Structures are given as structure tokens and as C-alpha cells.
Structure 1
Amino acid sequence: MKSTSKRSPGPAGQPDQERADTPGFAARKVAADILGNVVHKKRTLDGEFDAASGHSGLRALAGNDRALVRAILGAALRHRGEISEILDRLLDRGIPEKTGRVLDILHVAIAQMLYLDIPDRAAVSLAVDHAGADRRARPYKGLVNGVLRRLGREREEATADIDADVVNTPDWLRQSWQAAYGAETAREIARAHQGEAALDLTVKSDPEGWAKRLGGRVVGVGSVRLSKKGPVEALDGFDEGAWWIQDAAAALPARLLGDVRGLRVADLCAAPGGKTAQLAAAGAEVTAIDISGGRLKRLEENMTRLGLSVRTVVSDLRKFTPDEPFDAVLLDAPCGATGTIRRHPDLPWIKQAYDIEKLGEIQRDLLDRTVDWVRPGGVLVYCTCSLEPEEGETQAQAFLERHAGRMQLEPIDAAEVGGLGHLLAQSGYLRCLPCHNAGADDDTRGMDGFFAARFRRL
């Protein structure tokens, strides 16, 4: 039955449906909504972008609009500190609470105006429309319009002398990096986070051949770094299972187990399975254990595509006990993941210092449990994709002290990491930073932040 009711017009006289049908409006609305969910509700971008359970508005968008949302959010989060500073300069007073998505709308618009190739007029117009369509933001529609138009006119003054290396990093993280690595290196880390991560692949064999075939170059210990991005499923070698996505730094810890052909190896906290694939491709008999059944299912799907056979176990490691010790164990422990901010720009805005402390307790428990899972003479590699010493060097040293006489440190040699001696600490640990080179020259700058330590069971 057709409704005879008339649609009420929006505040500018434009019907709500017409505004919603404006090209680009839905994408900007979803971007602002997701941005608010991340910074205010501490939801992860990965969760919001999940194809099955993520943001419903995002799932309804066409592929090109979903890509636009991702680009807007990447810029808005990487430059969140700068945008906040700019708004402080442009606003005579702060925006009151309970104003709907006003701040999120402004951040989304400024991200487009300053960091994406989108005309100011489009960013401003769609932001004003969005404010007008939001019941709580509607009274601030004029403010949104005025602030953004002023930015367009006063761009140089509004953006002058902002220290991006400082303001884009929350204080607790910046202070942690300064204490651990010094002020200048902390700046370099922050600077690295303002750019997107490269797409690195681990190949089963012939990295030089695959680099030539895919238009990339070899970095790290045989990773292939691509210069162009696009749908990975469309790349040569995907269907035949010749490679998998894995950052050059993430490919290092599994190599520290040495020659694993014919050995029984446990990959703990294994999903999504990059290290599992490395070990299986190297000839190990791999048992991949993870607490998440869903993540392990995706791991199994990846192994099927790659033509690799592994045993999977869904279990909380704090409750699991193997039938017999393994020849080698790789523990990629849950951590704050602050080494992956280039890939996950939401992390600085959803993590807090107390998260690192809580995760440190889990890391300690898992390390202590794995001692008896390694046979005498076997190897344990502990790693985290974290920049925080509490999840790396401090955790490893405390482990050695607790298990003196049972486990000893086995220092890592530069030859084991492709000759990249700058990735090794004097203590014998592996320490990769986002500002490090993954090769011999500056053209290879950039990799995930990673820590790894190798222990030998006595």
C-alpha cells in the first residue's frame, strides 16, 4: 500500500531523502559514524570493517565508497592531533557536549580538505548536509559551514607551526617511546606512523622471481615489497597459493627457530597464520593453537589456499597442555600491537597505558607455561608486535631471571635477519622499529615494530 504522507524537508529546505541520495553523502556519514565509534566507544577499525559483523551502513555501500571511507578514516586518525589543533585555532570556544557528530563531521571534512585529493567545496558541502541531517548536530550546521570555509581561506595560518610528530601521538605513547629509544627516534617513529604501510608478501620460493613478476623488490629475509596496491586476490600467484601477506618484520621471528624440517613445532596464538605458513612451508610439523575458533577457521582457509597442512587446536593456552614437548615453540603473544600503527591508525586512540600492563600479565603467564612445552635442547622464540619495552625486553629479562638454570638466552645473529644488523640490540634481542629500513637503503624504509627473543631449553 502506497503511503500518502509527505516527507518532511530538512533544515535547508532540502528533503532528507534527497540529501541522503547526494553522491558521496552516505560515505561521509558512515566515515563520521565509524570515527566516533573508534575514538569515543573504543571500537576497532577492523571490527567496524568486518564483512559479516561490522558497521551496517558500511556494508550497504558500493566498493568504491567503502574504499573512500577507509581512506578518509586513515587520514583522520593518522592526523587526529593536527586536526584537533587546527580546530582549536579556528573555534572561538569549545563545542559543547551532546552535539551529535559535530566534531566527527568536522574531523572527516578536514581530513579530506588537507590530506586527500578532494575539492574543498565537496568536503564542505557534504559536511554541512550531514550536520543538517543529524538531529543533535543540526543547531551547529552554521558553525560547521563557517569553520570549514574559514579553513579554506586561512589554510596556511591555521596549519602553521604544528608539530605533527608530537601532536599526532597520545602523550603516554610518546613518553614511552622517548624513554625507550630517545627523543629523536621517538620522533622518527611518530613520523613513520603518518604514512601507510607497504604491502609485503612472503613467498614459498624464488623471491627474486616473484618480485620481478609482481613489480616489487626483495626486502628483509626474502619478503617481496610491492610498489602498487590493489585487490590482493587479483595479483599473480594468489590463486595458486604462491605467497601470503606478511610484513617484512613479522616474517623474522619464525626464521629464528632455524632449520625446522621434520621438527614438531607449536605456533601459539597462531591466527591469522603468517608464521604458521612459514613454518609449514619450511617442512615443520606444525600445531597451530589459538583461543579464537573463528580466527583459526580463517587460518585453515588460508592454509588450504596455500596447499599447506597443519594441525589446529582451539584452546586458551593458560588451560592447554600438550601430550608431549615440542622441538620448538613460537609464542607470538597478545600485546598492545603498537608496532602496527601504520596499518592500524586507530590503535593510539583506543589503547591506554593500563592495557599494556594488563597484557603484560598475560604474556608472563604464557611464557611461564611454555617452558615445559619445549623439550630439553629445544628452542622457544617469544615475540610481540609492540614498541613497548614492558612487552619486549623487560618481559624477556624477567623470564630469564625466573627460569635461570632451565632456559638461557640464545643471541640472534645478523646473518639470521638478512644481514640487517641495525635490527639487533646489544643484548641479543631483535628490535624492529617502524622507522627502520627493511633493506640496505632508505628506499626500503618502514616495517612493523617487532620484538623477538630466543631461548634454549637446558
Structure 2
Amino acid sequence: MSEPAVVAVKRAPRRPARPNTRSRANPGRVAAARALLAVDDEGRNVEEALAEFVPGDPADRALAWNLALGVLRHRAALDEAITTAARRAVWTLDPPVLSALRAGLYELAFTRTPPHAAVDQGVELARALGAAHAAGFVNAILRRGVVPLEGDVSLGFPAWMIARWRSRLGSPRADSYMRACAEPAAVHLVVKEDPAGVAASFQKAGIVLVPAGEGVFRLPARSGRVDELPGFAEGRWWIMDPAAVAVADLVPNVAEVLDVCAAPGGKSLRLAARGMRVTATDLDAERLARIAENAARVGLSVPSNVHDWSAAPMAGAWPAVLVDAPCTALGLVRRHPEIRWRRTEADVAIAAARQAKILSNAASCVAPGGALIYAVCSPEPEEGPMIAAKLGWPVEATYSNEGNPEGADVFWGCRMRRPA
């Protein structure tokens, strides 16, 4: 599974940022702002950017993560406040200035930072990003900007997404889901074997795992670094969302399965842990290498092949084929809030055209009477059920958790059967 190309958005030219060594900006705030600039200007994932910029101090690291993700979750309301106070569109502002304003207003509206400290740090942040020329402007906007906490803009999503989801789910259910997306997504782990033993090892470390499915547990918030938790180094579990687990579990018990578009690899591991011989394929060789590394850590074998499923099928026939197709990833907006600001409504149709090609090519690799599982991490019908329906194969089972406010990613999936 991978995301489609990011749609470029025209914005004001970015002034070269000259680091200001005299700035008193907190290192965590500077890291958050730089990560946000990388998200907007370079199309990077916020987690990847934060991993590069965050400082070593634990408190500063926590501040950077909270600030960057918080700004992305509440960007619509923050931009509304900036537009009203500045009397100009946000896209006309220099990116470093806009980043400092968003961070400062987020702290003023959504954190316990004292107002005078939030304003002072917002100004210092602008200086640290090379925008000392705008210090007075940033100070003025932070002092008079009011972040709206009600109305559609407070939901934290583009207007087109709000309209789509309300039309499909109804306003109460859609709004409840979008407001839940303002909170961090839960982190889950999937156990290779001996769930009781893994839970006991966490209990000894003072961490109580919450059952969330067969061999699936939710980690309590602030449990610590994943790679330092009990059993990680020993390969007893891996991180995977329950919705992705549910899609993998649509695959019936067969001897062999082909995992199309396999990265990041959690489903391949789940299937291999069930005793199946899994062949993982993906367009990205580097992502396949990471699957191999994770499989080795947990003691499983997952051979792989680089393949472009949008261009052609592979030779061979499998009793089961899993297609977790590249999509808009609109089901991951809680975990990856930057996605909501990257997508346009046109991206849904663009993704659907690619998905139809991938599914058609993958279907030719299903043995007669075999199972084809199709899934997307998107709630949009054009990417999920409408693509599956084009194939015309009988549907045996479906899965959907659209509108779920409980913290899981959103997936749609189905299991079809190739006529014998």
C-alpha cells in the first residue's frame, strides 16, 4: 500500500531561511516548525520529518511531536484565525512566517502554555526560521488572533471532505468521527505467538496491554519508545492497526498467498504467522527491504519481488491473492493528519483509475476457485466497493469500519471468489 503522488499547490515563494543563533526559541518548537515546513514545501510525511529534526532532550522531543501534529490537526481553524487577523490569505505569507503563526496560535488555543510565553516563543520562532523581518507582524497577529472553536472550520478538515462524509454518514456521525481525529491515534501491536506471555512481559514492566482482537493489543498512551518495549528486540510482536489486521484476516487458510502492494508489510507478517507461505510484491524495492528486515526480526520468512501491478500481472497462480491497493489514504487521516491537506477531491478518481488496473492484473493471478481479497485504507466508495464490483466476482465477505471514532485506521475490504 502506498500513497499517490502529492498534488502540488501554488504558494508564496519561500525566502531562504537563515538560522538565527540569537533566537531564544525552544529547540522543540524549532524542530516542529521545520518539520511542518518540510511537510508543506517538500511533501514529506510529518513523522519522517520529525525524526530528522527533533532534538535529543525528551521534553523537547515530546513538545515537537505534540506541536507539529497538533498544528496539522487544527490547521483549518488556525488559518481562519490568521486570515481574519491579518486580513490576507495565508498562502500570501512567507512559509516560515506562516509556520510560526500556526505554532503560536495552536499553543494559545489548545495547550496550557501561558499566553505571554506562547506569543514570545512564536516571535522567537520566526527569528529562528530566518524571518526576523516579520517579528513585529507575528507578534501582532498572535496577540489579536482568535482561533474559532466551533463551526465547520473547527472540525479540522477541508470543506470537500466534510461535505463528502456528511452526505454519506450523516452530520452527527461524520462530525463525531472528525472531532475524534483531533486526538492521537491509538497504537496497537500484533503478537506472533503466545499473546498471554507477551501481555505478562508488559505487565512486569508496568504496562497493561488492552486486548483489541485475536493476538492484538492496544498500547496505553506514553508507553515509551516502541523499540525499547518488552519483546520488541526478541521479535515477539510488530506494530499494526486492528483495521489492517481485519483485512489480512479476510484471507482464508491456504498454503500460499500472494501479497500485492505489500509494503509496509504488516499483513504479510500476519499471514506468515498463520503458517502460510507468503510472496510479497511492491513497486518500491526499499520498502520491500524493510519488510524483509521486519520479517527477520520476528523470525518469519517473507520472500519478495519488485513488481509494478499497474503495468502487468505476474506469472503464476495462487490459491489466495491479497490486494491492499495504493489509494488516497483518507482512512489514515487521524494517524497522519498531513494527508487531509494534501488531497483534493479529484485525487479520488485518479486513485480509482489506478486501482482498477492493479486489481485486474492481480485477478489474473488467482487460481480457479481461489480467493481474491481487495482492500483500501480509504472510506471512499469509488476506491473500494465500486472497484471490486467492476470485476464481477462473487463477494463472500466484507469489512468496513468507516466512521469509527475509537482510534483505528479506516479500511474497506472484501473477499471475492474466482469462478472455478
Pairwise TM-score range, normalised by the shorter structure: 0.7 to 0.9
2:267 aligned with 1:275, yes or no? yes
> Deviation of residue 127 (structure 1)?
1.7
Match of 2:101 in 1: 106
2:21 aligned with 1:17, yes or no? yes
CA distance in 2, matches of 1:38, 1:365: 30
1:31-83 deviations in Å (ceiling 9; x for gaps): 223323434554432453465xxxxxx17x32534443222110001011121
SS in 2 for 1:148: helix
Contact 1:180–1:389 (8 Å) recurs in 2? no
Q: Which fold has the larger relative contact order, with Cα–Cα distance below 8 Å and residues 6 or more apart in sequence?
A: 2
In the alignment, residue 371 of structure 1 is paired with which amino acid?
A
SS in 2 for 1:114: helix
Match of 2:30 in 1: 29
In the alignment, residue 177 of structure 1 is paired with which amino acid?
W
1:365 to 357, 362, 366: 357
2:390 aligned with 1:455, yes or no? no
Aligned structure 1 segments of 4 or more residues deviating by more than 6 angstroms: none
Match of 1:424 in 2: none
Distance 1:360 1:124, change over 3 A: same
In the alignment, residue 87 of structure 1 is paired with which amino acid?
I
Pairs aligned (count): 394
SS in 2 for 1:310: coil
CA distance in 2, matches of 1:18, 1:160: 34
2:123 aligned with 1:128, yes or no? yes
Distance 1:162 1:39, change over 3 A: farther
Match of 1:217 in 2: 210
Match of 1:243 in 2: 237
Unmatched 5+ stretches in structure 1:
1-14, 52-57, 152-157, 401-406, 413-428, 437-444
CA distance in 1, matches of 2:304, 2:179: 39
> Deviation of residue 313 (structure 1)?
0.7
Distance 1:207 1:116, change over 3 A: farther
Match of 1:404 in 2: none
1:169-212 deviations in Å (ceiling 9; x for gaps): 10121122123222222212211211111110111234345345
CA distance in 1, matches of 2:230, 2:129: 45
Contact 2:77–2:149 (8 Å) recurs in 1? no
- Across the aligned residues of Structure 1 and Structure 2, the Cα RMSD in angstroms comes to 2.5
Contact 2:313–2:362 (8 Å) recurs in 1? no
In the alignment, residue 323 of structure 2 is paired with which amino acid?
L
Matches for 1:70-149 after TM superposition, within 5 Å = 70-91=65-86, 97=92, 99-132=94-127, 137-149=131-143
In the alignment, residue 21 of structure 2 is paired with which amino acid?
Q
Contact 2:76–2:156 (8 Å) recurs in 1? yes
> Deviation of residue 452 (structure 1)?
0.3
Match of 2:12 in 1: none
Match of 1:399 in 2: 391
Q: Answer with 1 or 2: which has the greater Rg.
A: 1
Match of 1:431 in 2: 400
Match of 1:426 in 2: none
Unmatched 5+ stretches in structure 2:
1-18, 203-207
CA distance in 1, matches of 2:289, 2:90: 46
1:366-420 deviations in Å (ceiling 9; x for gaps): 11112221111110100011121111122122222xxxxxx3111x2xxxxxxxx
Match of 2:301 in 1: 309
CA distance in 2, matches of 1:239, 1:31: 29
